[in-house]
Structure 1
């Protein structure tokens, strides 16, 4: 098993072992602020956004994707290896908030 795969599995395991209340405490409003600050340069993070790259999916597309469950999305955000996306070094709380916001965009 490669280092990247082990790192991804470690992140998923850590998220799964986090207290259940931590996941419930995810705040999509905080996630929106994080998205607007760090993600809106490339991604469309809200329906009224005017500018973004056509080369990357919107948050609504990511939120609807079967590929990205909450766990896989959180693992990717924690370690976006083999990706054009930079590692933003987000905290677990910021990741949980951002995942909650992205999933809310799927509606």
Structure 2
């Protein structure tokens, strides 16, 4: 019975990895977004991650869902759910 309960909740217990999200963001998002304070260049008309994180309606869950859905203004990156959650956790780290 315990094994079944652990199997059902195991994926929900795994937390998003903001450090991995930072690596992914530097690889895939930095062309357009400012993804860290050391970055010098990005597209002028695209919000930096820090600005996105400080929006009043920001939530990591909402961002992860957004990243998994196709959007015409963004390139289509084949993100897994875990990768989308990792990037969202990294963006959320800018709320401090």
Short-chain TM bin: 0.7 to 0.9
TM-score, structure 1 as length reference: 0.74
Question: 1:32-60, CA deviations, whole angstroms, 9 ceiling, x for partnerless residues?
Answer: 00000000000000011101011100000
Once the two structures are overlaid, the 10-residue window that deviates more, 25-34 or 62-71, is: 62-71
Q: Which of structure 1's runs of 4+ aligned residues deviate more than 4 A?
A: none
2:94 match: 105
In angstroms, what is the RMSD of aligned CA positions?
1.8
Which structure's CA Rg is the greater one? Answer: 2
| Counterpart among 40, 62, 73 of residue 63 in structure 2 | 73
Q: Which consecutive residues of structure 2, in runs of 5 or more, have no partner in the other structure?
A: 1-8
* SS at structure 1 position matched to 2:21: helix
The TM-score normalised by the length of structure 2 is 0.82
Unaligned stretches of 5+ in structure 1? Answer: 1-16
Q: What is the aligned residue count?
A: 88
What is aligned with 1:91?
80
Post-superposition shift, 1:18? Answer: 8.6
